[in-house]
Structure 1
Amino acid sequence: MPRDSSLPAMAQPQLCLGQVRHTRLRPRRHFFSYGIYYLRLPLRSMGGQDFSARLISRNGANVLSFRDSDHGDGVTPLLDWIDGLLHEQGVSDADGEIWLQTMPRVFGYVFNPVSFWFCHRADGALRAVLCDVRNTFGERHLYLLDHGAAIAYGSELRANKIFHVSPFCKVEGGYRFRFLRSKDDAGQGERHLACVDYDDTSGPLLQTSLSGIAVPLRDRALGRALLRYPLMTFGVMARIHWQALRLWLRRVPFFSKPHPPQEKLSR
């Protein structure tokens, strides 16, 4: 796969303004969607540099912030951590750009249900995707999506579910992932879409997606995002509990968290 000409050799941090959608198919159909914004950070191009925008800081206090310690193992430099993990799992050719897609801290607070590490080869082809999944119990699990070769955007990737996230889903079945990338029709930036569907042993149960249009990480874009969603990350946690209450009131079956926690990485 040739290098995508839309990605410059020295990529720049991006802000994505978009939407989360979630549909439960049974035993009660349940749908919600809400606006969101998130970061896409080119870790190799950035190195240890801070952001040039004034409204966001790296490893410092600000209205918006990104802390390296929120990701990886919390100690090792991010590039060293992801490169080491990939090599341990036999992925030795993800030597191109690595984009970390995640939400920033807002006034110091963040809860990221899932962050994606898009790991590319030197020729620009997508080689592997690491999905860092968190639950509200303070636990996390890493799903490494890798089938030994370049991954075509739009293709379906699968992983067995082995980590408890929602008390309204059993730890069984598996996930189906699709990632898409294209030019925005309005020419304003690059459009990204991540679809994660969940099938239990009875078939399709959940359909979720995260979409957004990526623009350069600048103060004007950050200001618009903050005005539109001033307490976004606080809202993420509030909405998780609100939707759980709605499911409980509708008598959707409840499943307790299994013990002990499962392994930390699977593929």
Structure 2
Amino acid sequence: MESAFPVQICTGTVMHKRLRPAVNAFRYGVFFLRLQLRALEQQPQSRFRWFSVNRFNLLAFHMKDHADGKGRLSAWADQILHANGIHDADGEITLQCFPRVLGYVFNPVSFWFCHRADGALRAVICEVNNTFGEKHIYLLADEQPLGNGVQLQARKIFHVSPFCETTGQYRFRFIRREQDARVAARIEYDDVAGPLITTSVSGQEHAMSDRRILQVFARYPLMTLAVVWRIHWQALRLWIKRVPFFTKPLPPSQEVSR
């Protein structure tokens, strides 16, 4: 029997709230993909008319958009994990990211959920991109498998927004509800003065189909272009509100931070 195609499409919401020195909040509807990378590398040929892997289409996923842009994505993730002493994440790797829409994509952050062979979540790789074309990797892991919704932390060392210093701490929570196929990733950022920003992306998984692809495209046309436009629009709002502006520092080393 033919196996299901290892890509789900999710519809949901991006939320962001800044607490000080001026409150700034927004909420946008989005869609995103969840791809089972090891399975996808075994059957990369899409069976859908409006979705392709490594080829132009209405929606597409290009492996070169992630990791180092070379080779198999699962091999890159395994290399990151092994270099950091994690050798039991030999199960499926689920990559959550935006797709290309009519050839264009920008992913502020992509999440790589790395599982053990028994299905337990062992680690999460956070692949962060800024609008200056730079990338940084945060590895979130513990000595034991990660429970649903457990809090994970990472020290901020990568410049993302000119309205935040490159200091402080991130707190992450990843939630998955099997009963209604809901997923959520929540990030809280604290600077030296305390909690500053809360952001999240959440949604419901759906099986990929040509009908679903056309539905999400009709509802959120040119969504990935809108991601970049909204980043700059929100930056303008912060500037108007006189939120302090910080000059971009030198890029960090390419080492993975934990």
With normalisation by structure 2, the TM-score equals 0.96
**Which residue is equivalent to 2:185?**
194
Distance 1:176 1:159 in 2: 7
Unaligned runs of 5+ in 2: none
For 2:161, what is the secondary structure of its paired residue?
Answer: coil
Distance 1:221 1:53 in 2: 11
Cα deviation, residue 50, structure 1: 2.1
Cα deviation, residue 183, structure 1: 3.5
Query: Please, which of 102, 106, 124 is the counterpart of residue 129 of structure 1?
Result: 124
Write the mapping of 1:37-52 to structure 2, written as runs, cut at 5 A: 37-48=31-42, 49-52=44-47
Distance 2:195 2:94 in 1: 29
Unaligned runs of 5+ in 1: 1-8
**Which residue is equivalent to 1:30?**
24
* Amino acid in structure 2 at the alignment position of 1:29: V
Q: Tell me, yes or no, if structure 1 residue 227 matches structure 2 residue 218.
A: yes
Distance 2:21 2:213 in 1: 40
**Which residue is equivalent to 1:5?**
none
**Which residue is equivalent to 1:168?**
163
Cα deviation, residue 10, structure 1: 7.2
Alignment check: 8 A CA contact 2:189 2:197 kept: yes
Distance 1:34 1:184, change over 3 A: farther
Distance 2:123 2:5 in 1: 19
Q: Matched residues, percent identical?
A: 54
With normalisation by structure 1, the TM-score equals 0.93
Cα deviation, residue 47, structure 1: 1.9
CA offset digits 1:104-153 (Å, max 9, x no partner) = 11111110000000000011100000000000000010000011220001
* Amino acid in structure 2 at the alignment position of 1:209: S
State the number of aligned residues: 254
Alignment check: 8 A CA contact 1:10 1:45 kept: no
Cα deviation, residue 11, structure 1: 7.4
CA offset digits 1:164-193 (Å, max 9, x no partner) = 0000000111100000000355xxxx1000
Distance 1:79 1:11 in 2: 17
For the aligned residues, what is the CA RMSD? 1.3
Write the mapping of 1:152-163 to structure 2, written as runs, cut at 5 A: 152-163=147-158
* Amino acid in structure 2 at the alignment position of 1:91: I
**Which residue is equivalent to 1:6?**
none
**Which residue is equivalent to 1:248?**
239
**Which residue is equivalent to 1:266?**
257
Write the mapping of 1:92-103 to structure 2, written as runs, cut at 5 A: 92-103=87-98
Alignment check: 8 A CA contact 1:12 1:216 kept: no
**Which residue is equivalent to 1:90?**
85
**Which residue is equivalent to 1:4?**
none
Distance 1:60 1:100 in 2: 18
Distance 2:4 2:123 in 1: 20
Tell which deviates more after alignment, 51-60 or 110-119. Answer: 51-60
Q: After the TM superposition, which parts of structure 1 deviate over 3 Å for at least 4 consecutive aligned residues?
A: none
Query: Please, which of 138, 144, 151 is the counterpart of residue 139 of structure 2?
Result: 144
Cα deviation, residue 266, structure 1: 0.4
Alignment check: 8 A CA contact 1:11 1:42 kept: no
Query: Please, which of 52, 56, 60 is the counterpart of residue 65 of structure 1?
Result: 60
